Amino acid sequence: MIGKEKIMDHRTDKLILVDCDGVLLDWKYAFYKWMSENGYEVEREGVYDVAETFGLSKEESRRLVRQFNESARIGFLPGLRDAIKYVKRLHDEGFIFHCITSLSTDYYAGKLRQQNLEKLFGPAVFEKIVCLDCGADKDDGLLPYKDSGCIWVEDKPLNAECGLNLGLRSVLIEHLFNSDYENDSIPKVKNWKEIYEMVTS
């Protein structure tokens, strides 16, 4: 078993790979608010799938997520929990971040994401922001880092496993929807303070 304290034992550099929504930014809060404003109500809490959450078809949920992700609202998401404090601290201590997000391949959505991250975390924290298509798996985005041993911070278990299979050191940010997920090779953390302690101890 790889415990939280062992994550950085084999670190070769100070690069940390991060997902964005549910890791750095509170996408769920902003999306739920937007959905409420548009007349949709939550029908089931604690699930990852938007269709299940709002009682929609898969097709309709995908359309709405894309519409939100490509709207001006995507440029104003709040930070998640203590992410701003500890990501900035890690950057001040010499760590660099590459963000891999399944936001959209829309140019303007990508620019809004960049502006949002720079406003909250600072202009130099994210050396690279890779925008995959809306809802896409992270395989293609992570492939360039294969066998690098970099830390990979995610909230979706499937994407954390993808990183693990590519030779990354996956860490899962805990949410209600993934609270029952267990994998001895993927430590689960409640906040960025725990990640900070992992990588600096």
Give the domain CATH number at 174.
Answer: 3.40.50.1000
Same-domain check for residues 134 and 93 = yes
Same-domain check for residues 41 and 137 = no
Same-domain check for residues 49 and 148 = no
Please check the confidence at residue 3 and state whether its pLDDT lies above 70: no
Same-domain check for residues 172 and 133 = yes
Domain range enclosing 150: 4-26+78-200
Same-domain check for residues 9 and 33 = no
pLDDT band for 11, please (50, 70, 90 cuts). very low
Q: For 29-43, what is the mean pLDDT?
A: 97
Strand partners, 16: 97, 151
Compute the C-alpha angle 76/79/83, nearest 5°: 155
The pLDDT of residue 13 is 75
Same-domain check for residues 11 and 93 = yes
Strand 169-173 versus strand 188-189 pairing type: parallel
Please check the confidence at residue 1 and state whether its pLDDT lies above 90: no
At 138, list the tokens: 């992270």
What percent of the chain is modeled with pLDDT above 70?
94
Domain total in the chain: 2
Please check the confidence at residue 58 and state whether its pLDDT lies above 60: yes
**Those residues with Cβ within 8 angstroms of residue 21's Cβ, 6 or more apart along the chain or in another chain:** 27, 28, 77, 101, 103, 155
Q: For 74-83, what is the mean pLDDT?
A: 97
Same-domain check for residues 12 and 96 = yes
At 115, list the tokens: 């502006």
Strand 126-131 versus strand 96-101 pairing type: parallel
Q: Tell me the helix, strand and coil percentages in the chain, rounded to 5.
A: 45, 15, 40
Same-domain check for residues 142 and 132 = yes
Same-domain check for residues 18 and 113 = yes
Same-domain check for residues 103 and 83 = yes
How confident is the prediction for the chain on average, in pLDDT?
93
**pLDDT, tens digit (0-9, with 9 covering 90-100), for 106-157:** 999 999 999 999 999 999 999 999 999 999 999 999 999 999 999 999 999 9
In this predicted model, which residue has the larger pLDDT, 6 or 25? 25
Instruction: Strands of 27-140 (E only): list them.
Output: 96-101, 126-131
At 159, list the tokens: 């994407």
Range name among 6-15, 99-108, 122-131, 173-182 with the lowest pLDDT average: 6-15
At 95, list the tokens: 């760590």
pLDDT band for 4, please (50, 70, 90 cuts). very low
At 43, list the tokens: 């029908």
Same-domain check for residues 13 and 90 = yes
pLDDT band for 12, please (50, 70, 90 cuts). low
Residues in the chain: 201
